[in-house]
Amino acid sequence: MAKLKNILFWTGGILLLLVIFAFSGSQNKLLKTNGLNITIHHSDELYFVSQEEVQQWVMNEYPFFDSLFLQEINIPLLEESLDNHPSIRKAEVYSTLDGSLRIDIYQKQPVARVQTSKAAFYIDEQGDSMALSKRFSARVPLVTGKIEAESQEKIYHFFEDLKLDEFYQNFFSGLEVSPQGEWILYPKPGNHKVLLGTPDNLTGKLKKLKSFYQNIGSKENIGRVKTINLMYRDQVIVEKFRK
């Protein structure tokens, strides 16, 4: 009997909550819109999207926003529309009990910037192409040369893997892909370039390169280096600037 009473108690409580939520939801829909509250999440100091831009985006969808009832706003459709913005990864739109419409914006995160004779774009954190922005330029490595779909995917994974290595985080300022498909890296320290050759066995090549840097000593020594060639198996060939 006690078990049956507990079941009836919890069932009744759940039904009551459902009724309350349904009632509050219906009441909420009858409210007039009471302002727009926009939050842009600036992770990694990214400023591709502004509150003013999102507000204008909403106003373009709903020109008479201030005079509408909440039920007249298609929240899923508005979310989908904002998700189509070239710099937005995800938009979350929801209403509050006072009739305010809240929008949380999560921006796409560039991994690298591609610049070729035919196109200019970012590679984002999911490996997709991302349009450049007129209002903000991300500080990410610049990739130039012959960029095809296959090489773009490899470049994406390369820079993502570098983030997992404390030594190589933010180490390279650029990557060039030659017409033959060979990679040339441009490190931030010094004034030299690293010839990787074809992008195979990258883990082994980067391990050799790290060992070289750790053993070269001072920044003055790095400044004397002109080229580091890792194209040959088990070798690190160094060319220095002439004095």
Spell out the domains of the chain, with CATH numbers in brackets: 29-107 (3.10.20.310), 110-240 (3.40.50.11690)
- pTM greater than 0.85: no
Residue 178's pLDDT band (cuts 50, 70, 90) = very high
Helices of type H across the chain: 2-29, 51-61, 75-83, 149-162, 202-216, 219-223
Q: Please write the tens of the pLDDT for every residue from 136-172.
A: 999 999 999 989 888 899 999 999 999 999 999 999 9
Backbone angles phi, psi at 213, to 5 degrees: -60, -40
pLDDT in the model for residue 52: 95
Q: Which two tokens stand for residue 157?
A: 């994974």
* CB atoms closer than 10 angstroms to residue 15: 10
Position 134 pLDDT exceeds 70: yes
Task: Strand 183-187: give its sheet, edge to edge.
Answer: 129-130, 120-124, 110-115, 142-145, 172-177, 183-187, 193-197, 225-229, 237-240
pLDDT of residue 186: 97
Mean pLDDT for the chain?
A: 87
Chain centroid, CA 79 distance in Å: 18
pLDDT of residue 240: 87
Tell me what pLDDT residue 6 has.
56
